[in-house]
Amino acid sequence: MNRLINLSRALPAPESDITVAYTPIRLPMPGRQPLELRLTAPATGGNLPIVILSHGFGPSNYIPSKDGYAPLAQFWAERGVAVIQPTQASSRVGGLDPDLPNGPFFWRERVEEIRVILDQLAEVERQAPSVTGRLDHDRIAVAGHSFGGFTCGLLLGARLQGEDFTDPRIRAGILLAAPGRGGADLTPENAERFPFFDVDFSGINIPTLVVCGAEDDPHFTPRGPEWHADPFHDAPGADALLTINGVGHGLGGIAGWDARETEAEVPDALEATCRLTLAWLRSTFAIEPTAWAQSKTALERNAAAIANITLNRNTI
């Protein structure tokens, strides 16, 4: 029971169930320290879809790690999804030394870390005994916030200077306040600092939900909040754009409750982000095929002030 939400109650969502969590799960990686993960999953049930949640490069010390993003990860896990959260190479608390080559962003290493998780799902289950045999390795999605969205975009099919990072084991993706087009769309200083943002989203052909904050004013570009919607407009597989009203980059608080990452803590917006992304996942993975359509209808009829959904007609 959350007394802080109001309009978002109109958006349908399953009741929450008890979860189990394992942390730290450690996966070996050649030439460096192990990759540490948190796994949060329903305590019961089988054929659980998997979401690998990639954190951003925010200002906090601990939230950009396996220990952040509890509002989103816990919501999904309480409603039927196994959520895996890596502490990625760019993490301040548990990543690589930022002075190493490729630091502090380690964008290639972050992509490789997601692949390591996919390669070692059996080992993840071995270290999390209560979920052994309960994960559906054929229903895997990636979800990433901010710089995590950049990481996931590459794995979904975005190309950088013609290089293809697609992993066919990933069947769907959610890009949360992810970067838009780079290159000429950035300020000159940011184009020089972030050459790896110059990606081509046209290679994303699998189902993808793009989520933006209506008041997200990016400092990388002279463009406004619509910059974060570029993957929706450019990616053939991006079937919907979810715009959360009244919030910026933190989407109401997905990175953490009472967190530095949350420039505007808006419980109704956070709840809507959680409920609507879950509905999309449940429909995309055929858990409840009508969940997304039902949520869209409920939003339009009873909670239109919270968010807007734009559909890509070419994917319907």
The CATH number linked to 140 is 3.40.50.1820
45 inside domain: yes
State the average pLDDT for the chain. Answer: 96
Give the separation between CA 148 and CA 124, rounded to whole angstroms.
21
pLDDT of 39 strictly over 50: yes
Cα 302 to its chain centre, rounded Å, is 26
Q: What are phi and psi of 128, to 5 degrees?
A: -130, 75
2 inside domain: no
> Domain range holding 210?
7-315
* Residue 156 contacts residue 64 (beta carbons within 8 Å): no
pLDDT of 37 strictly over 70: yes
Distance (Å) of CA 99 to CA 16, 29, 93, 96: 43, 19, 14, 8
pLDDT at 269: 97
pLDDT of 86 strictly over 80: yes
pLDDT of 264 strictly over 90: no
Cα 87 to its chain centre, rounded Å, is 14
pLDDT, tens digit, for every residue of 62-74?
A: 999 999 999 999 9
pLDDT of 316 strictly over 90: no
Express as a percent the part of the chain with pLDDT over 90: 94
pLDDT at 315: 52
* Residue 172 contacts residue 205 (beta carbons within 8 Å): no
239 inside domain: yes
pLDDT at 314: 64
* Residue 296 contacts residue 275 (beta carbons within 8 Å): no
1 inside domain: no
User: What single DSSP character describes residue 314?
Assistant: G
pLDDT, tens digit, for every residue of 179-223?
A: 999 999 999 999 999 999 999 999 999 999 999 999 999 999 999
**What number is the average pLDDT over the span 226-247?**
97
The full 3-state SS of 225-292, as one line of letters, equals HHHHHHHHHHCCCEEEEEEECCCCCCCCCCCCCCCCCCCCCCHHHHHHHHHHHHHHHHHHCCCCCCHH
* Number of structural domains the chain divides into: 1
Helix, strand or coil, per DSSP, at residue 121: helix
- Alpha-carbon dihedral sign for residues 198, 200, 201, 204: negative
pLDDT at 94: 96
Q: Which residue has the tokens 């059996």?
A: 122
pLDDT of 122 strictly over 60: yes
250 inside domain: yes
Express as a percent the part of the chain with pLDDT over 70: 99
pLDDT at 261: 82
pLDDT of 51 strictly over 90: yes
